[in-house]
């Protein structure tokens, strides 16, 4: 099979499209021929050596995608060759064939395209647990979404609006402001402005927002300044650097809550994985979630896709097509 591989850590130049052996089929596993593969910043971090990678070179990036079942182990009873399957948290996805344990396989309805599935599942499940589990968004809430033009940020905005919340977004450029507004943000402020005071001004009657979803990390104390007394800051990423230490006395004095979030603490069974996926697919059908900026690039041009992602010029999801 063909795969996007690398044998040493470094810049996108270390990536090459090469012929490697097909994956083996173990008991309890299936092999899927990929039709679309989702790219994430974690792929960039792993290519650079910032994230742990198991095994030995050649390494294969990628953790989500969608395709058609090509092989099924004899002990697998509820999946057949030819079935449409989507997946997340499955390593070595940047390849024509991907082997996975059956508990990671998500049935893909015929009215959801391979591209839609590969584009929404990882970021969509993240947004889903954030608004449903980490801090449940209620109708009438005002929420502040960091990196509102990013993949998770746009989905958080849309899911928040669907629950009746007012959404304030934060972005890094004028172009990204427009993306956040298009996703449904009621107000959008720039990071290079005095956004804490701007948020305070537009929530004066509430004395701050109810919930902040902070994926930047280095902005954590500003997030606390923007959230109201008895409000909640949900910390789920460090795209802007390590967060400062938080004094628990501040939490006590202000009755503010800090909670963390990691998707894989919330998606622990195949049943839950399928349930959350089906809710996302239904949101696509109903128009609650829109996916208008999918950018498809050949898997053979994976190095160019990495360069584009690192440039931060793209606003939508990048997909690799075998």
pLDDT attached to residue 315:
66
pTM (predicted TM-score): 0.91
Domain over 2-120+266-321 is classified CATH 3.90.1720.10: no
pLDDT attached to residue 206:
84
Give, for all 322 residues of the chain, the pLDDT tens digit. Answer: 999 999 999 999 999 999 999 999 999 999 999 999 999 988 998 999 988 777 789 999 999 999 999 999 999 999 999 999 999 999 999 999 999 999 999 999 999 999 999 999 999 999 999 999 999 999 999 999 999 998 899 999 999 999 999 999 999 999 999 999 999 999 999 999 999 999 999 998 889 999 999 999 999 999 999 999 999 999 998 888 889 999 999 999 999 999 998 999 999 999 999 999 999 999 999 999 998 778 999 999 999 999 998 887 776 789 999 9
The greatest distance separating any two alpha carbons of the chain, rounded to the nearest whole angstrom, comes to 63
Instruction: Tell me the two tokens of residue 37.
Output: 């593969």
Strands 187-190, 166-171: pairing is parallel
Domain boundaries, the chain: 2-120+266-321, 139-260
> What is the DSSP secondary-structure string of 164-190?
T-EEEEEESSHHHHHHHHHHT-SEEEE
Q: Which CATH number fits domain 139-260: 3.40.50.720, 3.40.50.1700, 3.40.50.300, 3.50.30.50?
A: 3.40.50.720
Helix axes 270-286, 114-129, angle to 10 degrees: 110
pLDDT digits over 60-98, tens only? Answer: 999 999 999 999 999 999 999 999 999 999 999 999 999
Of 124, 145, 320, give the one whose Cα is nearest residue 226.
Answer: 145
pLDDT digits over 19-60, tens only? Answer: 999 999 999 999 999 999 999 988 998 999 988 777 789 999
Which residues make Cβ contacts (< 8 Å) with residue 219, sequence separation at least 6? 146, 191, 240
Neighbour tally for 249: CB within 10 Å: 8
pLDDT attached to residue 127:
96
Instruction: Tell me the two tokens of residue 45.
Output: 């971090």
Say how far apart CA 102 and CA 98 lie, in whole Å.
12
């Amino acid at each position: 099979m063909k795969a996007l591989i690398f044998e040493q850590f470094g810049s996108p130049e270390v990536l090459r499209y090469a012929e490697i052996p097909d994956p083996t089929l173990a008991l309890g596993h299936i092999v899927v021929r990929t039709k679309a593969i989702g790219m994430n910043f974690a792929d960039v971090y792993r290519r650079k050596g910032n994230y742990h990678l198991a095994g030995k070179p050649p390494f294969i990036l990628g953790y989500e995608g969608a395709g058609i079942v090509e092989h099924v182990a004899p002990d697998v009873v509820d999946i057949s060759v030819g079935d449409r399957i989507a997946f997340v948290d499955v390593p070595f996805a940047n390849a024509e064939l991907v082997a996975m344990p059956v508990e990671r396989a998500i049935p893909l309805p015929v009215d959801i395209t391979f591209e839609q599935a590969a584009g929404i599942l990882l970021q969509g499940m993240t947004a889903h647990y954030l608004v449903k589990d980490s801090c449940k968004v209620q109708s009438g809430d005002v929420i502040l979404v960091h990196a509102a033009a990013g993949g998770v940020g746009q989905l958080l905005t849309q899911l928040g609006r669907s629950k009746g919340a007012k959404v304030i977004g934060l972005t890094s450029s004028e172009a990204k402001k427009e993306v956040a507004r298009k996703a449904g943000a009621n107000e959008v402020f720039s990071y290079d402005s005095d956004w804490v005071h701007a948020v305070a001004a537009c929530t004066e009657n509430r004395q701050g927002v109810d919930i902040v979803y902070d994926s930047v990390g280095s902005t954590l104390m500003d997030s606390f300044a923007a959230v109201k007394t008895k409000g909640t800051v949900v910390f789920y990423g460090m795209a802007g650097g390590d967060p400062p230490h938080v004094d628990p006395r501040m939490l006590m004095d202000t009755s503010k809550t800090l909670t963390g979030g990691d998707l894989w603490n919330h998606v622990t069974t195949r049943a839950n994985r399928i349930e959350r996926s089906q809710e996302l697919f239904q949101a696509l059908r109903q128009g609650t979630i829109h996916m208008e900026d999918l950018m498809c690039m050949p898997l053979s041009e994976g190095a160019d896709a990495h360069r584009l992602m690192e440039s931060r010029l793209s606003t939508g999801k990048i997909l690799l097509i075998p």
